[in-house]
């Protein structure tokens, strides 16, 4: 079975190639299950006009399609950089078992890529965030949640 450093080297290679050939950002990730790569992704936010097109999210999407499931229990994720909060949330929902990362968010900050405002927003109380939030139609939405709970095969993950 390949060593973790071999998978990380592959992720770095994928990110560098996508950056040089396709204009992607150099952030890439791979998902590994049982020693096999089951998903790959690169940061194509600009190319795809999609703010969620981070390498980790794209690798999770690819692995889900390839494995035919959203549940990636037993999978590891290798990423070329410490993930942002959105990507950590995606790993949580996908049940990623272990994370390996190369560069840090501090390394990104050193080249002018600052995620401190995102971190502050995510970690603050909903009503204290820079992004204004207003609750609307809570009762109606709760009724749909209760209906979902009563559906056959309900699974709240």
Check 21, 56, 76, 82 and give the catalytic one. 56
Write a three-state SS string for 69-121. Answer: CCCCCCEEEEEEECCCHHHHHHHHHHCCCEEEEEECHHHHHHCCCCCHHHHHH
Q: Catalytic annotation on 56?
A: yes
Instruction: Give the CA distances from residue 34 to residues 6, 17, 31, 80, in Å, rounded to whole numbers and listed in that order.
Output: 14, 26, 10, 20
As annotated, the active-site residues are 56
């Amino acid at each position: 079975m390949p060593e973790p450093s071999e998978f990380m080297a592959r992720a770095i290679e994928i990110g560098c190639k996508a950056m040089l050939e396709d204009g992607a950002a150099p952030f890439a990730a791979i998902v590994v299950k049982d020693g096999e790569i089951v998903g790959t992704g690169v940061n194509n936010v600009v190319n795809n006009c999609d703010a969620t097109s981070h390498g980790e999210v794209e690798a999770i999407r690819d692995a889900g399609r390839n494995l035919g499931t959203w549940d990636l229990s037993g999978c590891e994720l290798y990423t070329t950089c410490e993930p942002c909060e959105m990507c950590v949330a995606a790993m949580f929902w996908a049940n990623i078992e272990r994370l390996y990362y190369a560069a840090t968010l501090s390394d990104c900050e050193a080249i002018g890529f600052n995620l401190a405002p995102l971190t502050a927003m995510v970690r603050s109380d909903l009503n204290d965030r820079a992004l204004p939030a207003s609750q609307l139609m809570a009762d109606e939405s709760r009724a749909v949640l209760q209906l979902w709970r009563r559906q056959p095969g309900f699974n709240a993950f």
